[in-house]
Amino acid sequence: MRLRSIRSVGVWATLSACLSCAAGGCGRAPAPEAEASAPAFDASGAVVSGCVESYDPGRDYFPVKAEPVDAELFRLSYQGSYKLLDIDAAGAPGGTARYLLVQCGTPVPEGFDDRTVVSVPARRLAVTHSYLQEALVLLDAVDRLVGVQRVEYAAAPAIRAGLESGAILPVGAGHHTDIELISALDPDAVLVYEPFLAESGMLTELGVAVIPSSDGREPTMMGATEWMSVVGALLNREADMARVLEETRERYRALADRVRDVERRPRFIVGRPYRGSWYLPGGRNNWARLIEDAGGRYVLADDSSSSSLPRALEGVIDRGDEVEVWIGVSDASSMAELLADEPRLSSLQAVRDARVWGSDGARGADGYNPYWEHRLPYPDRMLADLIRILHPDRLPGHELRYFRPLPEESG
């Protein structure tokens, strides 16, 4: 009923406005101002809810600043009552998406006409890049989430509860984005995966702030994880997010140190082929770097790309003797199923040695698999699993969380 109400009232109101403008040549009317609520502060003095009641031009409203340590593709700078967020993103004008994050209750500064204005702390966010959903869980801020990509990518109990109650709605992503529904939800911003930025032009035309996440091109896993800082900045929760990231970084580095001196590094490959192509990360991709930090060596380590690109299956099969470990196979119940789909995979050494690992080890009885949502926020957990797979003697007693050895036969 909630979905029908949103579509029948909010969406048709938006469409009617657009049709009227098309006929009469007008711009989109601004949304009515929400009633300002009294501000709430965190321990650092940042406003984490509501709006400033009395603007003080001499006050620093952001006492804690996000300072990325490993991330290379976004930058945050701070002034008294606003923040500047710059993101390297394909599809953005000049390759950079620019935002002006203004403390609610303070004036919008002049001279930033090239930037999209977002009021912070954000009241309503849609997150169609599943890796970043967990950032709101970590900040206990799921109440700010109004839209996610798909129900299948919502393993967090708090987000599933929101979907069941109707407080959160599936809004799609990329070509399948429900533009009208997102507009009707009236989010302060929508966070999308960078490759889908160019497909979000209609949302921008409707006045929705679209913020891309370029974490997929970060060369290190902790660099990708630091993109959660963008969520922290939108919520004025820099202090809390900094603690989360520092604790994660310490655990990650301690684990990586356990295998830093290993001499024998098994050569690995990741993912699964589909219709004759195999989407594989480049040699500078953070997923490949994650497994290298676990003491492996990527078969395509000499590739200089950071993106995942389709490779001809024949090219991978020709290097089958180099593939000692195959990690992260999705949607396959057994080796027999893999080979039934593509018999030539039997030439991979990892298949011959039964060293193939599925990525659904954490799937619960309810069918949800948190693997895709957890790689970015919990790289230390992923790293521990991978060390156990590649060098079990360096992490004795660790029980795998996300991966499972693929059996010969189903069941």
Pair (97, 180) in one structural domain: yes
Of 196, 227, 248, the position where a domain reaches its end is 248
**Closest Cα to residue 166, out of 149, 145, 189, 137?**
145
DSSP β-bridge partners for residue 148: 127, 170
Measured distance CA(141)–CA(119) in Å, rounded = 17
Pair (227, 278) in one structural domain: no
Measured distance CA(359)–CA(141) in Å, rounded = 28
| pLDDT at residue 411, as a whole number | 65
Element (H, E) at 329: strand 325-329
Pair (235, 266) in one structural domain: no
List per-block mean pLDDT (blocks of 10 residues) for the chain, which spans 411 residues: 32 37 32 62 96 96 96 97 97 96 97 97 96 96 97 92 97 93 96 91 93 95 97 98 98 98 95 88 90 94 84 90 94 91 93 95 91 94 98 96 92 65
Measured distance CA(217)–CA(13) in Å, rounded = 38
Q: What is the CATH number of the domain that holds 240?
A: 3.40.50.1980
The first and second tokens of residue 287, run together, are 């997923």
DSSP 198: G
Residue 4, in any domain of the structure: no
| pLDDT at residue 361, as a whole number | 94
Q: Helix count (H) and strand count (E) of the chain?
A: 15, 18
| pLDDT at residue 151, as a whole number | 92
| Whole-structure pTM value | 0.88
Residue 3, in any domain of the structure: no
Of 248, 270, 285, the position where a domain reaches its end is 248
Element (H, E) at 224: helix 221-225
Pair (61, 175) in one structural domain: yes
Strand, helix or coil at 318? coil
Find the domain containing 344 and state its range: 261-405
Residue 139, in any domain of the structure: yes
Of 248, 281, 316, the position where a domain reaches its end is 248
Pair (48, 81) in one structural domain: yes
| pLDDT at residue 167, as a whole number | 97
pLDDT digits (tens, 9 = 90+) for 288-322: 899 999 999 999 988 888 878 888 899 999 999 99
Measured distance CA(118)–CA(340) in Å, rounded = 51
| pLDDT at residue 275, as a whole number | 83
Whether the bond into 121 is cis, omega within 30 of 0: yes
Strands (E), 79-214: 82-88, 96-103, 116-120, 125-127, 145-148, 169-170, 189-193, 210-213
b or e along 275-301 (b: 16 or more beta carbons within 10 Å of the residue's beta carbon)?
A: eeebebbbbbbbbbbbbbbbbbbbbbb
Residue 32, in any domain of the structure: no
Measured distance CA(124)–CA(296) in Å, rounded = 41
DSSP-H helix ranges across 48-205: 133-138, 157-165, 179-185, 201-205
Pair (220, 305) in one structural domain: no
**CA angle, residues 125, 76, 197, in degrees to nearest 5:** 50
Pair (195, 270) in one structural domain: no
DSSP 201: H
| pLDDT at residue 36, as a whole number | 58
Cα separation values, 44 from 28, 48, 54, 105, Å = 38, 10, 19, 19
Structural domains in the chain (count) = 2
Residue 15, in any domain of the structure: no
| pLDDT at residue 172, as a whole number | 94
Measured distance CA(87)–CA(320) in Å, rounded = 39
HSE-CB for 396 with a 13 A CA cutoff: 1
Pair (301, 224) in one structural domain: no
Pair (166, 74) in one structural domain: yes
Strands (E), 23-95: 40-41, 47-49, 74-78, 82-88
Residue 98, in any domain of the structure: yes
Measured distance CA(251)–CA(43) in Å, rounded = 25
Residue 11, in any domain of the structure: no
Pair (229, 268) in one structural domain: no
Pair (95, 233) in one structural domain: yes
Pair (128, 182) in one structural domain: yes
DSSP 7: I
| pLDDT at residue 168, as a whole number | 98
- CA torsion sign, 170 to 173 to 177 to 182? positive
Residue 93, in any domain of the structure: yes
Measured distance CA(227)–CA(4) in Å, rounded = 34
Strand, helix or coil at 241? helix
